[in-house]
Amino acid sequence: MDGDHIKLTIEYYKKYKQKIRGKFATTSVQIPQLIGVEWRLCQDIKQKNLSKINTPRFLVRLNFSNDSKMFECNYEEIQDLLNRLKIARNSVYNLIEQ
């Protein structure tokens, strides 16, 4: 933005500051809470050739306070999910301790 637009924006902000704050105070975004994780291992074995086993897949259901999401992933992806959940948990613990 150029200088004139910046000045105009500041001017309008000062003029409507209370209305803007009031609007922000009544506007919120609900973030669903993760309340549980369910998973199971899916292993396919071919009947004709028992030595051929497909790579294992995991069926994961994330249960939220308002919904649930289900997806399928491989071993590396579920390891990544677990690491990210641990990082999120540790972040919450660190915030609580402060």
20-49: average pLDDT: 81
23-52: average pLDDT: 79
**Selected residue with higher pLDDT from 53 and 23:** 23
pTM assigned to the model: 0.55
The band of 26, judged by pLDDT with boundaries at 50, 70 and 90, is confident
Bridge partners (DSSP) of residue 71 are: 60
Q: Rg of the chain's alpha carbons, rounded to an integer?
A: 25
Q: Report percent pLDDT > 70 for the chain.
A: 91
The label of the residue with tokens 């028992």 reads 50
